[in-house]
Each structure stands twice: as structure tokens, then as C-alpha cells.
Amino acid sequence: MDASPTAAARRAAAIARHLAGLPSGAAAAVAGLQFSPCLSYAPPESSEAPPAFAPMELRALLDGHHLRERDWAYGAMEESPLFCPRRAGGKVFVSPDYNEGKEGQREATMRRIGYLTRRGVFRGWLTEPGPDAELRKLALLECLGVYDHSLAIKVGVHFFLWGGAVKFLGTKRHHDKWLLDTENYVIKGCFAMTELGHGSNVRGIETVATYDSKTGEFVINTPCESAQKYWIGGAANHATHTIVFAQLHINGRNEGVHAFIAQIRDQDENVLPNIHIADCGHKIGLNGVDNGRIWFNNIRVPRENLLNLVADVLPDGKYVSMIDNPDQRFAAFLSPLTLGRVNIAVNAVYISKVGLAIAVRYALSRRAFSITPDGPEMLLLDYPSHQRRLLPLLAKVCMMSSASNFMKNMYVKRTPEISKAIHVYSSALKATLTWQNMTTLQCREACGGQGLKTENRVGIFKAEFDVQSTFEGDNNVLLQQVSKALYAEFLTTQRKKKSFKGLGLEHLNGPCPVIPHSLTSVILRSSKFQMDLFCLRERDLLKQFAEEVARHLAQGESRERALMLSYQIAEDLARAFTERTILQIFLEDEMNAPAGSLKDVLVLLRSMYVMVCIDESASFLRYGYLSRDNVTTVRKEVMILCSELRPHALAIVGSFGIPDAFLSPLAFDWIEANALSSGSE
């Protein structure tokens, strides 16, 4: 360290100039300290180079469908005072008032739903058939989620759980009676499946529905405290009707879980006799949804209220079903949950987009420190460490957008033959995308203290969306289901001596990929290498999983116990399947893009995704797919990719299609937004 008097004098002079804001020289030093020029906000667009690609082209790829309808929905929300418009930094922003109490947030959610109903947002959501109508519905729900998680969940419970159960588990008599009134919010529905004692294990729920052949009614009863319906969105305040999942008992025989329509309130929102409803209370987030608990004390519902597409009870009490196998019948009753998982996964992607758009724009306008004594302070995003914090997240959210579009298209074009595949993909992607959303929202940290302010959205999102990892299926349980499904496919192909077909597993039919001993940047960015590496990991883990289960079976364990004991490899396998799936889907989108600047950026995003998956996962080293030297090379490649993606960051977040009003003051003139004259609190 240079400790000479001359060096000390230079440092002292530099500090004095910094504090005084004056030019160097003796005259300036004698003049004493004076105010330095204040910081001023410069929008990122004023300093960043023009986009190298057309952001609208990338938006078309990421949104996938119904761009015009999305913009219309955003506009409808911006136009209404119900969506809490406020001015900050010269712009108008909309977002819920989280300072309202629980009841205030709930009533605000219902007022917004009423407004959206009048604007025609929900028109055709249950009565208009066809894949395009379903995709339009999903697009509009995604826009509502960008505004507020509570709004999206409240609408989702009503349309996709209650309405979806009536539509997909009911028959014409149910459709004629309930669907149009549901669409117009004449009735308000909820979905009573989860109980205090059973959530993921739906087969074990304890609510009982006993058929009374004398009156032609089902008698629904909550036999014990653990059978109370719990976390039922809409139940605490507003729902008039519910779908009740209960064990169907006929003449002393349990026919398993079935779904029934029951009214729980009258038109004046009074709770009906023999039904008790209690509030679940204040939550860490999602307080605009009135989650409630329900107890049934021998309430009676007509025989016609059994949702009877899968099974029915005749007037004399005879049980009939189009599906003989009880396991397959039970799976059919769970079908409404599939769309719930699809919606949650897609919503997670859009919230990641909002958070990243805010964090990246802030990093392109906020400066800190300088690398020379008299130099300007650097933009946050020009620091390599800050690039490493944000740009890999940017790549992942783009990749996951493609995956969510793939999942939506598969769902709306569903056939009975692909129902199993839909279950596997929706389970894998719901778990992965919601976990990644919570990781992405840690970009709050990249926003410093401003990220703590509720008005800047990113911080409050962490509490609002934490629930995604457990509702509509606990993420860990969902990944176990994925691994079990892959294991079943493995056993079937072995037993029948057939090739793998479906779930993208066709790569197992070919020779085992060979990974080069020494990796270079060119190899690392090769799509062939990337797919080979991900496929090698998946096929090896599937084989290891099957072998470990077989060892436990040979030791006398039951099949379920053997699968349970193999959970570590099962988790690695499910993650390998999901990451390979996401890569494969994005590669197809990339190949369909015309040659040019956009395609070049897609290649960078894809390579960043793969390198970060390798860098963040122990599995590549744990199972020997890559050497230590190669993993080190990958880590260096991440830094190089960060520098190459840096010029495109603003254009990429601009392509997300999130209107300015749905971001936050932090994404724009954050100095003016915090001025004394702004009135911001």
C-alpha cells in the first residue's frame, strides 16, 4: 500500500473536491466547502442504445397470444378510480392499497370484480366454447394478476374452481342452471376441497355425504374438527354456493370422494341454517381474498346436485359410473385442479416480469460510487456483480414464458389421451415456476431501501406470492408425482419392450450422449451440447431412481415405501425433467424465429439459462456429468454472457408488455417521486 505523504495528500485533495464539488486548484481549496450539484434522474432510454431487435416481436413470443385483449384489460383497469390511481414522479400508477385493513381489502376486491363484470371482461368465460376463448380467458386473468394477486385468486376460485367443476364435472342440467349465473356473478362460488386435516391427500378427506333414498337427498356432515373445510377462498364473506368434496356413503358403503353443489348463503349474504362459517384470519399476504372455514351439520342437498359426469346415484340409491376403476375415477374428480396449477404457474411468470422490469429500470438510472477519484458514479447495472444478480433471472423468466405458453396450449387443446401428460407438465412447471418467482423477487435486494416501500411493489410481492408454493398442490409433493410418473413410464417401456413416447422422453430411445472432456465457450453455447447434457442427466437419474427403488423392494419394502425412501434422487430427477423440458420448448420457439437480431438475443438467453442451471445445481458435479474444471469454465461463461446481455436488458424488460402504470415509481423518476412536494408517504 502506498503510504507516502504525497499519496496521502492526493487522496485528501480528491476527497475535498468530491465534497466541495469544485474544480481542483489552490483557489478552489481556499474558497472552502460549497454545495455539490444534486443528482438528477435520467431515464434509461436517454442513455441506452436503441434496441438491437424489435421489442414487440419478443413480446409476441413471450405473451404468446391475445396481445390486443391484454392491452384492453390493462386500459380498463387504469381508467377506473377503483384501482387506486395515484401520481408519483410525474406519472400515474395503479396498485391495491395494502394499508387498508383485511375487510377493506376484501371489499375493494369485490368492487373491482363488479366493475370488471360490467365492462364485459368475463363475458364468455364459461359459456363460449373453443381453445381461442379459453386462451383469451387465461390472457385476461394474467392481466388481473399483474394488478393484484387477490383479484386474480378471487376471480380464479369463482371461474376456474367453482365454475370449472360445474362445467367439467357436471352435465347439461348443471350447465343450464349454474354457468350463465356464475359468469354474470349472480351467484358467487367457492370450492370446498381442502380440510384442516387433509390438503394434498384429498383421498383422505373426512367430510361425509350420505344418500337418503327416502327423500332423494344427500346429507352432508362435518363429523369432526379435522374435517372442517379450510382456506376456502370466498367463503368468509361473499360466496353464496360451494362445491363440496366429500366421501359418498350409500347403504353403508363408501364409494369414495365425489363433488356436490351446496348453497351456503342466501341472496342477502346470510349464512344458511346448519352451516357454520368462520374467518381464517389475517394472512402474511393475499388479504383481499376472504378465506374461510366451513362446518356442515347434516345439511341436505338434492340428488341432482351431485356433479355426475363421472358417476351418478339413481333415485333408488344405485351407484353407477362410466369409470369402473376407483383410482381412475378419483383422478377424474381432481381434474379441475389442473387448470388451477396452470394459472398459478403462468401468474408466477408475470409477477417475475413485473419485479424484474422495476429492478432493471432502477439499475439503469441509479448510480453509486466511481472507479476513478474524479469520475462519474457508475450505473448499478454496469457493475458485473449487479449484472449477475439480475440478468440470469431475466433469462430464466423468458425461458419460462415459453414453457407457460406451451402448457396453456396443451391444456386448451386437451384430449383424454394427453390428460396424464397435462398432469405431469402442470405439476412440474407449477412447482418450478412458483419457486423461481420467489427467487426472482429477491431482486428486491437489488433495489436497496427503495425496494422495501410497498408502493414500489417488489417487496410486497414476496409476501403476496409466497403462498403459491403450497396451494393447488404443495411443490415438493408435486415434484414427487412427476418422478413417480416418470418411473411408471420407465417400468412400462421395460415390461412391454417398447420405445419411450411422450413427455419428451424420446431421447431415451437413442444412444447415451457423450459430453466433451474439455469445454470451450463455443461448445457451451451449442444447443446440441446443452440438450445432450440435460438429456444425459435426466436419463441417468431416471435409471438411478429405478435402481434405488428396486433395491428397497428387494429388501422387502412396499412400493410406496420404496418410492418414499428414494426421495432425494426423485427430487433431482423431477428438476432434471423440468429443466430439460423448459430448454426443449424454448429451443423450438428459437428455431421458429427468423434469423436476425432477435434470434441472436434468444441464443444468449437460452445459453444463460443453461449455464446458470449448471452453476446453481449440485447435480452436475454430484453425479459426475461435468468435471470440476468444466464447472469452473461454466461459471466464467456466466460472467461473459452477463456482459453480452447487458446492452439488451432495457429492451427485454420493455418487451414484457407491462404498462408503465403497473410498474412503480422506482422504475421511473424515483427522485421526483420522493420529493417533498410529491406528497408521497
Residue 268 carries which DSSP code? T
Measured between its terminal Cα atoms, the distance across the chain in Å is: 47
- Cα 434 from chain centre: 4
Give buried/exposed letters for 208-230 (b at 16+ CB in 10 A, else e): bbbbeeeebbbbbbbeeeebbbb
Is 448 marked within a binding site? Answer: no
- 192/433 Cα distance (integer angstroms): 26
Active site residue 472: yes
The residue behind cell 429477491 is: 442
Three-state SS string over 408-450 comes to: HHHHHCCCHHHHHHHHHHHHHHHHHHHHHHHHHHHHHHHHHHH
Residue 331, C-beta contacts closer than 8 angstroms, at least 6 positions apart: none
Is 194 marked within a binding site?
Answer: yes
d(CA 68, CA 639): 37
Residues 29-42: b if buried by 16+ CB within 10 A, e if exposed? eeeeeeeeeeeeee
Residue at grid coordinates 387498508: 100
- DSSP letter at 391 equals H
Question: Measuring CA to CA, which residue among 570, 392, 397, 429 is closest to residue 504?
Answer: 429
Give the phi and the psi of residue 622 in degrees, each rounded to 5: -60, -45
Active-site annotation holder among 142, 217, 472, 579 = 472
Phi/psi of residue 306, each to 5°? -70, 125
> Parallel, antiparallel, or unpaired for β 208-212 and 241-250?
parallel
CB neighbour class for 5 (10 Å; exposed up to 12, middle 13-18, buried from 19): exposed
Q: What is the CA radius of gyration of the chain?
A: 28
What's the helix, strand, coil split of the chain in %, to 5? 60, 10, 30
Query: How many other CB atoms are found less than 10 A from the CB of residue 285?
Result: 17
Q: Determine contact, residues 143/66, Cβ cutoff 8 Å.
A: no
**Do 577 and 482 meet the contact criterion of CB atoms below 8 Å apart?**
yes
Q: Take residue 264 and report the three cell numbers written for it.
A: 351456503
Q: What one-character-per-residue DSSP string does 544-564 give?
A: HHHHHHHHHHHTT--HHHHHH
Burial class (CB in 10 A: 0-12, 13-18, 19+), 50: exposed
Asked if residue 220 lies in contact with residue 243, where contact means CB atoms within 8 angstroms, the answer is no
How is residue 662 annotated by DSSP? G
- Angle in degrees, CA 555, 561, 565, rounded to 5: 85
The strand pairing partners of 277, in sequence order, are 294
C-alpha 448/C-alpha 450 separation (Å) is 5
Cα(264)–Cα(296) distance, integer angstroms: 10
User: Which one-letter DSSP state was computed for residue 373?
Assistant: T
Q: How far apart are CA 295 and CA 230, in angstroms?
A: 9
Known binding-site residues for FAD equal: 194, 233
Q: Which residues are catalytic?
A: 472
Known binding-site residues equal: 194, 233
